Structure 1
């Protein structure tokens, strides 16, 4: 079900799956995505063993676009506020892409409540490549260049093999569908990525953690994903042979990695 929760800013729409009655699991989606688009393919499996709660960031899903620049603290606080509203005192956090930064911030702001972290296709330090991509992404979004932005994102989201496996007609269809689904808050989300450096925070985290690296990811370099795993104390490390969209290319394998780790 989807409901709304209000904290100090505009209401954030949240998705709740508690039918299993299992331990809490918060899910944090990526920039330009939503709970449904990033986790919909694995939500049933996660909900089979956990009470799952996620929120849509401003300008995506059911959450209105923000009137002020977004702050990572606010995204983390909104996610925890949703957990509070659902009666979840303690929880694991699964973060994808930008959501990995949100998950890290939840762990450092609420260390006594977080039981485990799973970070997928993400980074502790954005680096120059992500800064340049973010500049393009934010600029094209601000200018309303939806189709050009879609062409950029499609070229960076899929693994080379998946992208080259498309026929010209299929490729154009994917571009059109992507252009039509870019949320109004996409540029706001990516502004949080440019210049991000959470290495000092990551190094202080003391809960069990799994880093799932997307090894054929043109957007987040594998070196940055490995750096995250090396910086996170005691983190387990796993690899998925996929581009930046594990939910599109390898959903079953991704769900299995997450479920098996959380079951421990």
Structure 2
């Protein structure tokens, strides 16, 4: 696996490590809230292999290795201890980082996450993976259908809907096949009871890709975890950035 993930370092203050989602990037998943987070925190955002400027991996990705490399990027950037804000696949990366590096991780914020894919999510992953070998615009249509909240999708004009599909088709990172395969392999259920840091789970209540029930399962499995719900589909950063930022800031202010 490629080491030394490309990354951004922004702001100053307590450490905050970002873990993005499959088929995403730090800019793509956290862009709408990144500047605000950097006003009060030193934010370190690595891109996984095949995303952003990080070269694609020649071998399958493993959760341990991805988690270890994110922690290494944070420590190399000067953060001794830090909270982790994980999104989608990044929630599993964050949980694994906390269990493998308990002396480094001070808090977890797990957004649109899961401890393991349920059957609905596995079917979506199968379609996603197969479409990566074909028509990228068809894949973008599928992901838009699955990941966009019903309310947000209904608000789009035909022109805006087609523009969103085109932009997503152009955005799909080269490393997406490895990312999707990694999602399929995730199972952190046995680790949840051992999480001993303050944890906020943010469920995306209108999510058709990663069910909010999976976020509730995460929260139920982690001792003392808080659960917040935001009325958004999987793309919470695009649909409800202010609401997402508000719950994250409230939690960071207490932890």
1:126-150, Cα deviation, whole Å (9 max, x unpaired) = 1111111111111111x13211111
Aligned match of 1:9: 2
Return the alpha-carbon distance in structure 1 between the equivalents of residues 175 and 10 of structure 2. 25
Q: Give the number of equivalent residue pairs.
A: 254
Instruction: Please show how residues 1-264 of structure 1 align to structure 2 within 5 Å.
Output: 9-18=2-11, 20=12, 22-141=13-132, 143-264=133-254
- Runs of 4+ residues deviating >2 angstroms: 8-11
Q: CA deviation at 1:38?
A: 0.7
CA contact (8 A) 2:139 2:169 kept: yes
Return the alpha-carbon distance in structure 1 between the equivalents of residues 3 and 218 of structure 2. 32
Aligned match of 1:3: none
Q: Could you list the runs of 5+ residues in structure 1 that have no partner in the other structure?
A: 1-7
CA contact (8 A) 2:2 2:49 kept: no
Return the alpha-carbon distance in structure 1 between the equivalents of residues 182 and 201 of structure 2. 21
Q: Could you list the runs of 5+ residues in structure 2 that have no partner in the other structure?
A: none
Q: CA deviation at 1:172?
A: 1.4
CA contact (8 A) 1:15 1:54 kept: yes
CA contact (8 A) 2:3 2:69 kept: no
Return the alpha-carbon distance in structure 1 between the equivalents of residues 202 and 34 of structure 2. 17
CA contact (8 A) 1:214 1:239 kept: yes
CA contact (8 A) 1:138 1:188 kept: no
CA contact (8 A) 2:4 2:73 kept: no
RMSD, aligned CA: 1.2
Q: CA deviation at 1:10?
A: 4.1
